[in-house]
Protein backbone atom coordinates (compact mmCIF):
# COMPACT_ATOMS: atom_id res chain seq x y z
CA UNK A 1 0.00 0.00 0.00
CA UNK A 2 2.96 2.30 0.54
CA UNK A 3 3.50 2.71 -3.20
CA UNK A 4 -0.14 3.80 -3.69
CA UNK A 5 0.12 6.29 -0.84
CA UNK A 6 3.40 7.57 -2.29
CA UNK A 7 1.77 7.85 -5.72
CA UNK A 8 -1.14 9.85 -4.26
CA UNK A 9 1.30 12.11 -2.40
CA UNK A 10 3.27 12.61 -5.62
CA UNK A 11 0.19 14.25 -7.11
CA UNK A 12 -1.47 15.81 -4.08
CA UNK A 13 1.14 16.11 -1.31
CA UNK A 14 -0.42 15.78 2.12
CA UNK A 15 -3.99 16.36 0.89
CA UNK A 16 -6.21 13.41 1.77
CA UNK A 17 -8.14 11.49 -0.91
CA UNK A 18 -11.42 12.93 0.37
CA UNK A 19 -13.51 14.73 -2.25
CA UNK A 20 -15.28 17.01 0.24
CA UNK A 21 -11.91 18.36 1.33
CA UNK A 22 -10.31 18.42 -2.13
CA UNK A 23 -13.04 20.61 -3.59
CA UNK A 24 -12.33 23.23 -0.90
CA UNK A 25 -8.55 23.29 -1.41
CA UNK A 26 -8.44 22.68 -5.20
CA UNK A 27 -11.39 24.73 -6.50
CA UNK A 28 -9.66 25.49 -9.81
CA UNK A 29 -9.50 21.75 -10.60
CA UNK A 30 -13.04 20.88 -9.43
CA UNK A 31 -16.43 20.76 -11.11
CA UNK A 32 -19.68 19.17 -9.95
CA UNK A 33 -22.33 17.61 -12.15
CA UNK A 34 -25.84 16.58 -11.15
CA UNK A 35 -26.88 12.96 -11.51
CA UNK A 36 -30.50 13.77 -12.41
CA UNK A 37 -32.33 16.55 -14.25
CA UNK A 38 -33.94 19.36 -12.26
CA UNK A 39 -31.32 18.99 -9.50
CA UNK A 40 -33.15 16.04 -7.98
CA UNK A 41 -30.96 14.13 -5.55
CA UNK A 42 -32.24 10.54 -5.55
CA UNK A 43 -33.55 8.25 -8.29
CA UNK A 44 -37.11 7.12 -7.60
CA UNK A 45 -37.71 4.92 -10.65
CA UNK A 46 -35.66 2.41 -12.66
CA UNK A 47 -35.57 4.96 -15.49
CA UNK A 48 -34.06 7.59 -13.20
CA UNK A 49 -31.54 5.04 -11.88
CA UNK A 50 -30.54 4.40 -15.50
CA UNK A 51 -29.98 8.16 -16.00
CA UNK A 52 -27.74 8.27 -12.91
CA UNK A 53 -25.67 5.32 -14.14
CA UNK A 54 -25.44 6.69 -17.68
CA UNK A 55 -24.25 10.11 -16.54
CA UNK A 56 -21.73 8.50 -14.18
CA UNK A 57 -20.51 6.16 -16.92
CA UNK A 58 -20.13 8.96 -19.47
CA UNK A 59 -18.31 11.31 -17.08
CA UNK A 60 -16.05 8.60 -15.66
CA UNK A 61 -15.14 7.37 -19.16
CA UNK A 62 -14.27 10.94 -20.11
CA UNK A 63 -12.19 11.51 -16.95
CA UNK A 64 -10.69 8.09 -16.23
CA UNK A 65 -10.68 6.48 -19.71
CA UNK A 66 -12.12 2.98 -19.97
CA UNK A 67 -9.61 0.23 -19.20
CA UNK A 68 -7.08 2.56 -17.56
CA UNK A 69 -5.32 1.84 -14.27
CA UNK A 70 -6.89 3.75 -11.41
CA UNK A 71 -6.64 3.97 -7.67
CA UNK A 72 -9.95 3.06 -6.05
CA UNK A 73 -10.18 4.76 -2.66
CA UNK A 74 -13.06 4.23 -0.28
CA UNK A 75 -13.43 6.25 2.89
CA UNK A 76 -15.40 5.79 6.06
CA UNK A 77 -16.15 8.25 8.83
CA UNK A 78 -15.03 6.85 12.15
CA UNK A 79 -17.27 8.41 14.78
CA UNK A 80 -16.74 7.20 18.33
CA UNK A 81 -20.38 7.68 19.22
CA UNK A 82 -21.97 6.44 15.98
CA UNK A 83 -21.77 3.13 14.16
CA UNK A 84 -20.37 3.28 10.64
CA UNK A 85 -23.28 4.15 8.36
CA UNK A 86 -21.71 2.60 5.26
CA UNK A 87 -21.52 -1.03 4.26
CA UNK A 88 -18.17 -2.66 3.77
CA UNK A 89 -18.98 -4.56 0.60
CA UNK A 90 -16.55 -2.43 -1.44
CA UNK A 91 -13.72 -3.63 0.80
CA UNK A 92 -14.41 -7.19 -0.31
CA UNK A 93 -15.40 -6.54 -3.93
CA UNK A 94 -12.29 -4.52 -4.77
CA UNK A 95 -9.96 -6.12 -2.18
CA UNK A 96 -9.34 -2.77 -0.58
CA UNK A 97 -6.56 -2.55 1.98
CA UNK A 98 -6.30 -0.14 4.89
CA UNK A 99 -4.26 2.95 4.05
CA UNK A 100 -4.42 5.41 6.92
CA UNK A 101 -6.65 7.59 9.07
CA UNK A 102 -6.91 11.34 8.76
CA UNK A 103 -8.49 13.88 11.11
CA UNK A 104 -10.60 16.48 9.33
CA UNK A 105 -9.84 19.36 11.68
CA UNK A 106 -11.27 22.10 9.47
CA UNK A 107 -14.59 20.30 9.08
CA UNK A 108 -17.16 22.99 8.18
CA UNK A 109 -19.78 21.06 10.16
CA UNK A 110 -17.63 21.25 13.28
CA UNK A 111 -17.44 17.51 13.84
CA UNK A 112 -13.67 17.17 13.31
CA UNK A 113 -14.24 13.62 12.17
CA UNK A 114 -11.55 11.00 11.71
CA UNK A 115 -11.79 9.25 8.37
CA UNK A 116 -10.35 5.85 7.48
CA UNK A 117 -9.09 5.35 3.92
CA UNK A 118 -8.88 2.03 2.08
CA UNK A 119 -7.62 1.53 -1.45
CA UNK A 120 -6.35 -0.67 -4.23
CA UNK A 121 -5.35 -0.56 -7.88
CA UNK A 122 -8.20 -1.29 -10.30
CA UNK A 123 -9.06 -0.78 -13.95
CA UNK A 124 -12.02 1.39 -14.90
CA UNK A 125 -14.74 -0.57 -16.68
CA UNK A 126 -18.21 0.95 -16.11
CA UNK A 127 -20.14 -2.31 -15.72
CA UNK A 128 -17.81 -3.46 -12.94
CA UNK A 129 -18.80 -0.37 -10.93
CA UNK A 130 -22.54 -0.35 -11.66
CA UNK A 131 -23.52 -1.43 -8.12
CA UNK A 132 -20.92 0.81 -6.49
CA UNK A 133 -22.24 3.81 -8.43
CA UNK A 134 -25.80 2.89 -7.44
CA UNK A 135 -24.76 2.65 -3.79
CA UNK A 136 -22.94 6.00 -3.91
CA UNK A 137 -26.04 7.59 -5.47
CA UNK A 138 -28.04 6.38 -2.44
CA UNK A 139 -25.36 7.57 0.05
CA UNK A 140 -24.59 3.98 1.01
CA UNK A 141 -20.93 4.10 -0.10
CA UNK A 142 -18.28 6.78 -0.46
CA UNK A 143 -15.36 6.42 -2.82
CA UNK A 144 -13.36 8.02 -5.57
CA UNK A 145 -11.34 6.78 -8.51
CA UNK A 146 -8.12 8.45 -9.66
CA UNK A 147 -6.53 7.82 -13.05
CA UNK A 148 -2.96 6.84 -12.18
CA UNK A 149 -1.44 8.53 -15.26
CA UNK A 150 -3.27 11.85 -15.18
CA UNK A 151 -4.35 12.34 -11.53
CA UNK A 152 -7.90 13.10 -12.73
CA UNK A 153 -10.51 12.09 -10.15
CA UNK A 154 -14.10 10.93 -10.41
CA UNK A 155 -16.00 10.96 -7.10
CA UNK A 156 -19.69 9.99 -7.16
CA UNK A 157 -21.97 10.99 -4.29
CA UNK A 158 -25.70 11.09 -3.54
CA UNK A 159 -26.87 13.68 -6.02
CA UNK A 160 -24.06 13.83 -8.53
CA UNK A 161 -20.40 13.59 -9.35
CA UNK A 162 -17.42 15.62 -8.19
CA UNK A 163 -14.76 15.70 -10.90
CA UNK A 164 -11.19 16.90 -10.51
CA UNK A 165 -9.24 17.65 -13.65
CA UNK A 166 -5.57 18.57 -14.13
CA UNK A 167 -6.16 22.31 -14.48
CA UNK A 168 -8.74 25.06 -14.92
CA UNK A 169 -8.67 24.76 -18.73
CA UNK A 170 -9.72 21.11 -18.56
CA UNK A 171 -12.48 22.03 -16.10
CA UNK A 172 -13.76 24.70 -18.52
CA UNK A 173 -13.83 22.21 -21.41
CA UNK A 174 -15.66 19.62 -19.31
CA UNK A 175 -18.21 22.24 -18.22
CA UNK A 176 -18.87 23.15 -21.86
CA UNK A 177 -19.17 19.52 -22.91
CA UNK A 178 -21.69 18.65 -20.18
CA UNK A 179 -23.27 22.06 -19.52
CA UNK A 180 -26.78 20.62 -19.17
CA UNK A 181 -25.65 18.56 -16.16
CA UNK A 182 -24.19 21.49 -14.21
CA UNK A 183 -25.95 22.83 -11.11
CA UNK A 184 -27.86 26.06 -11.73
CA UNK A 185 -25.94 29.27 -11.10
Among residues 160, 78, 165, the alpha carbon closest in space to that of 114 is found at 78
Mean pLDDT of 56-72: 97
Quick check: 75 and 143 in contact, CB under 8 A?
Answer: yes
At how many degrees (to 10) do helices 130-137 and 46-64 cross?
110
83-139 tens-digit pLDDT? 454 567 777 777 777 777 777 666 555 566 677 788 889 999 999 999 999 999 998
Rounded to whole angstroms, how far apart are CA atoms 165 and 22? 12
Sheet holding 69-77: strands in order across?
30-34, 160-164, 153-157, 143-147, 69-77, 114-123, 97-103
Q: What's the mean per-residue pLDDT of the chain?
A: 87
133-166 tens-digit pLDDT? 999 999 888 899 999 999 999 999 999 999 999 9
pLDDT score recorded for residue 104: 65
> What Å distances lie between residue 185 and 32, 157, 181, CA to CA?
12, 20, 12
Among residues 136, 132, 125, the alpha carbon closest in space to that of 161 is found at 136
Beta bridge partner(s), residue 155 = 162
pLDDT score recorded for residue 139: 86
Rounded to whole angstroms, how far apart are CA atoms 152 and 175? 15
What is the pTM assigned to this prediction?
A: 0.89
pLDDT score recorded for residue 79: 45
Amino acid sequence: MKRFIDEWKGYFGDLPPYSHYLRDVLPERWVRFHALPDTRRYAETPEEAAIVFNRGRVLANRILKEGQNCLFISYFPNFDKYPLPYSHKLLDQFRLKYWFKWKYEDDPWGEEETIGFYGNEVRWFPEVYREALKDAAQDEERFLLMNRETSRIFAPYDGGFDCFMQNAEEVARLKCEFAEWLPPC
